[in-house]
Amino acid sequence: MNNNYKYVRMFSNCIPVLGKDKSVIYDLQRKQMFNIPNDLYTFIQLFEEHTISEIFELCGEDNKEVVEEYFQFLKAKELTFLINEDEIKLFPKLSMKWASPAKISNAIIEISERTYPLFEKIIKYLTALGCEYLYIKIRIPESYIIIKDIVEKLTTSSIFSIAFEAKFNANERMVDYEQLVVKYKRIETIFLLSKEPLKTTSSKILITPFKKFVNKKECFFTVNISLFTESQKYNTYFNKKIFINKEGMLLNAPEAEEVFGNITDTTFEDLVKIIDSEKFQKYWRINKDVITECKNCELRYMCVDNRVPQKSKEGNYFFTSKCELKM
């Protein structure tokens, strides 16, 4: 059958994003990415208005082989399909609308002697705010016992996923941690900080030296539809986040400076007022498209970089440090 008069379409969940030096196709359903040259990105834009034969004609005889290679690559990676002209309107683009009913979707909590006794109050508040993701930093020596107690307390909560960051202590056994992640499916990851090299059979336990921990680049990138659509308008690190530090202080994130009170004497009504305030949401809408360093980066819709954006006199957003995440 002659396909020359057909149109090529990318699957709606496969979205090319242009970068300065290279581009990326985000496959939002299979949660993976494909690096591509910028020429291929430009080539894909031709699909919008031209049939296959028109594309060959536009690119010229000299580029015939490259055009064939590009079509072949896209087909082999299962990123494209062919349609007739009268079928075009049957394949609309993926909606970029993002909405979340939660006032707070993710929280970072430092568990210390001060905040541990308040844990039940904190979880009650977070649950009422719609929070589903927790990142808990254990700052008390008995890491294993505390983690076990916390996951048991969360058994009937709406918290969907928890990651822990804790020191592995000499008197603890790895097998206990391994049994914990098997028993409690809500545990997404346990980052165990250790000076000594350790071994584990669990893919949910990541052993890492103290210093290298912050450099785990893979932790900053995720390809999925929720993050992609959220990042079109919001800063995916600061948006709908709250941080409760070891003193109980309330902040938007560990990297943010402003303190909005202390959980010890904050009522639920006070907390809602804090979260609804413009000051608390200062960074939420500063997405990567408006940050000088990021707006031409092909990773901008998968990156959860945690640096605090600054505003210049001219109204542009920038970072005071250089990006160390870009691969």
Task: Count the residues of the shown chain that bind ligand SF4, applying the rule CB under 6 A.
Answer: 11
Q: In this structure, is the dihedral angle defined by the CA atoms of residues 131, 135, 137 and 142, taken in order, positive or negative? A: positive
Alpha carbons 243 and 259: distance in angstroms, whole number: 10
Is 294 a residue that touches ligand SF4 (CB under 6 A)? yes
Nearer to ligand SF4, 70 or 283 (CB): 283
Is 139 a residue that touches ligand SF4 (CB under 6 A)? no
Task: Select the residue interacting with ligand SF4 from 10, 52, 297, 308 (CB under 6 A).
Answer: 297
Nearer to ligand SF4, 100 or 222 (CB): 222
Site for ligand SF4 in 181-240 (CB under 6 A): none
Contact between 23 and 38 under an 8 Å Cβ cutoff? The reply is yes
In whole angstroms, the minimum distance from the beta carbon of 25 to ligand SF4 comes to: 16
Q: Which span sits near ligand SF4 by CB under 6 A: 47-55, 80-88, 195-203, 300-308? A: 300-308
Per DSSP, the chain holds a count of helices (H) and strands (E) of 8, 14
Q: Would you list the DSSP string of 189-243?
A: EEEEE-SS----S-TTEEEE-TGGGGG-GGGGB---HHHHHHTTTS-TTTTTEEE
Closest CA to 127 of 153, 155, 162, 157: 157
Nearer to ligand SF4, 59 or 325 (CB): 325
Is 299 a residue that touches ligand SF4 (CB under 6 A)? yes
In order of 72, 193, 218, 306, the CA distances from 214 in angstroms are 40, 11, 11, 11
In whole angstroms, the minimum distance from the beta carbon of 251 to ligand SF4 comes to: 21
Q: Which span sits near ligand SF4 by CB under 6 A: 37-45, 108-116, 191-199, 297-305? A: 297-305
- Interface with ligand SF4 by CB under 6 A: which residues? 288, 293-294, 297, 299-300, 303, 305, 323, 325-326
